[in-house]
Chain A
Amino acid sequence: MTDDGEGASGGRIDVERIGGLAGFGGPGARIRSRGTLPLSALSRADRATLDRLLGQAGPAPPMPDEFLYRITRQVGARVLSVEVAESEVPAVLRACVRDELL
C-alpha cells in the first residue's frame, strides 16, 4: 500500500465483517472485524466479482447467524459500498479481516 492508503492501481477496499452469532460490529458491540486491501491485491477474477457485488441492486439477506460483509471500494473520490452475505464474498476479502475486542 502507498502512504495515502491506496494501492498501486489507485484504489482501496475496506472490509468489515458484521453480524454472526456474536453480533459483530453492532451498535454498542465490543467486538468487530475489519481489514483493508489495496485494489491491486485482487486478482482479475476477484475484481470482476467485486464489480458484480458492488453493482447488485438488492443482495439477499443472510441466513440466520451468517456473517455479512460491508465492502467499500474507494478509487480517488469515488466511493462505492455494499453489504453482502459471506457466501458471496471472494476468499481474499474474507481473509483480510481481523477480529478484535474494543
Chain B
Amino acid sequence: MCGHCFIVPRDVLERLSRNDSLSATVRKGMARTAKLDIELRRLRAQNHRLTRLGMRLAPVPAPAAAPPVPQVLVADCQHGTTLPGVPVPAPGKSSDATARTVFDETTALARFYAKAFGRNSIDGAGMTLASSIHYGVDYNNAFWNGVQMTYGDGDGRIFLDFSRGNDVIGHEITHGVTQHTIQLGYTNEAGGLNESLSDVFGSMFRQWQAGQDVTGADWLIGKDIMGPEATARGFTCLRDMADPAAGHCLAPQITHISQFKKGMDPHHSSGVPNLAFTTAAKALGGKSWERLGQVWYRAMTGYRPSPNMKMAAFAERTRKAGATLYPGDAAVAGALDQGWRKVGL
C-alpha cells in the first residue's frame, strides 16, 4: 500500500524495459513492474472513489440498536515503513505495551461509536479496525492511509509514542469515518472541516472515557504525546480546541473564518470549526457527546457526501441537524448559534 515500497524507481524500470541488451523476458518483467508501481500510486486515490461508489450503490443499512464491536487487528512495522507489518497475535495480551494500548483503545473507541452514536465501526458495517505500530524510526506522526491507522513511536524528546493519546487514536479512526460518510477532501475549507471532525470526535472520546462533562474537559489535542523537550518549553498540546491560537499549542490555529486563506494546511484552518464546537458545547453544558455530539454526528453522517464542503455550509448543516434532532429546543439552537457566530459563521 505504501508508495515507496519499490526499491527501483519507475523511470529506471521503464528505461530498462526498453534496453535491447536485456532479454525479452527481463524487459517484459521491468515493464510489468513499472506499470504496477504506477497503479499502486493510483490505488490510494481509487480507494476514495471506491468508497464513494460503494456507498452510492449499496447504502449501509441502519445499524441495530447496539452494534457489535468490530474485529481489531494490530500489526508491528518493526521500525520499517512497509505497511501493514507483521501481525501481532492476541494484541490485547501482547508483551508489547504499545500493541496492548492500541488494541484496548481502538476497541474502546469502537464501543464509543456504537454506544454514543449507534455506529458499527468505520464504515457502519463492521469493518475490521486495522492498526500498525512502531512505524519508522523515531517517527513523529500518526496517520490514516485510506484503509488503516498507523502510529509512530515518537522521538522520545519532542513526542512520545503517538498511541499514548486516546484522542490521537480517536482522531485517526475518525478520518476513516469521514471517508465513509461525508467524504470531505483534504484541502482548503473541506480539509479544515475534515481535520476538525477528527479533533472533535477524538476529544469527545477522551471525555467519554473519563466521564467528563464540558467543564471538566481540557479540550486539548495531543496532551499525552508531548515529550520532555516540548513540555519543558511550555507546550502542553498540539492544539487547544477552546483556545486555538494559544501560546501553549505546538501548532496554533486560526480562530475566525476571516483568517482563512486558500491552500492553508487543514491542521491550521481546523481551529475555526474546533472553536465553534467547543463554544457551543460549553454553552449547552452537560456531556459533549449527548446532544451537541449527536448534532455533529448527524451533520457528518446524515447527508450526501460533500467532498468540497465549505465551513459556512457545514455550519448551516449543523443548524439543520440540530433542528431535526431537537425540534423546539432553544438551548441547542442557541448554543449552535453562539458557537458559529464566535468564528464568524
Binding site for B on A (CB under 8 A): 18-24, 26-31, 33, 45-46, 48-49, 51-52, 60-67, 85, 87-91, 99-101
Contacts and interface: CB of A to CB of B under 8 A. Distances in A.
21 contacts: A21-B168, A22-B140, A23-B239, A26-B265, A26-B268, A29-B268, A30-B250, A31-B158, A48-B11, A60-B44, A62-B186, A64-B175, A65-B144, A65-B171, A65-B172, A66-B143, A66-B145, A67-B141, A85-B3, A88-B3, A101-B233
Contacts of B3: 85, 87-88
B10 interface: yes
B140 A20 contact: yes
A64 B252 contact: no
B129 interface: no
Contacts of B222: 21-22
A22 to B, nearest CB: 5
Best-surrounded residue of B9, B168, B171, B245 (most CB of chain A within 10 A): B9
B44 A23 contact: no
A28 B251 contact: yes
Interface string B143-166: 111100000000100110010000
A65 B229 contact: no
A19 B267 contact: yes
A49 B12 CA distance: 9
A90 B186 contact: no
Given A21-B168, A99-B140, A101-B235, A52 B185 contact: no
